[in-house]
Amino acid sequence: MRAVVQRVKEAWVRVNGEEVGRIGAGLLILAGVAGDDGPEDVLYLAQKLAHLRVFAGEGRLMHFSLLDIHGEALVVPQFTILGDCRKGRRPAFDAAAPPEMAEKLYEDLVQALVGYGLKVATGRFRQMMEVGLINDGPVTLLLDSKKTF
């Protein structure tokens, strides 16, 4: 399971012009599920996201976690972050999980974050979405449960 994580002052997601999710200060998480992902990948990523120290405090730029600041998370499904662009000009998505499997693990990730006591908003699976944000920093990080980077 992969995530592109951005520290934000606020973020929102719209589907067909309707706002379906909005958060204040916290993390925008673009989440992609790989075909070989399972429950252990969900738990790893949720734990990492909840405890990742990327918020300023006590004189340090990256000292507090999402839990520490009582921040919010906007989790948006995005299979394209599993795209492989190493060959040719068109991304290959062979590594992405089939939609039914991906949707379940995506929902499991959302529930795992809620289980930490976080306020979590979401995008909509298999929908065209518009995502907006006010980046804070900017701080953008890449996470992978298989620790490939």
Active site residue 79: yes
Among candidate residues 47, 55, 64, 79, the one labeled active-site is 79
Among candidate residues 6, 55, 64, 78, the one labeled active-site is 78
Helices (H), 15-124: 39-51, 66-69, 99-115
What whole-number distance in Å separates Cα of residue 65 and Cα of residue 38?
A: 25
Among candidate residues 80, 111, 127, 140, the one labeled active-site is 80
Active site residue 80: yes
- Exposure of 101 by Cβ count < 10 A (0-12 exposed, 13-18 middle, 19+ buried)? middle
Question: What tokens appear for 42 in the block?
Answer: 């969900």
Active site residue 6: no
Active site members? 78-80
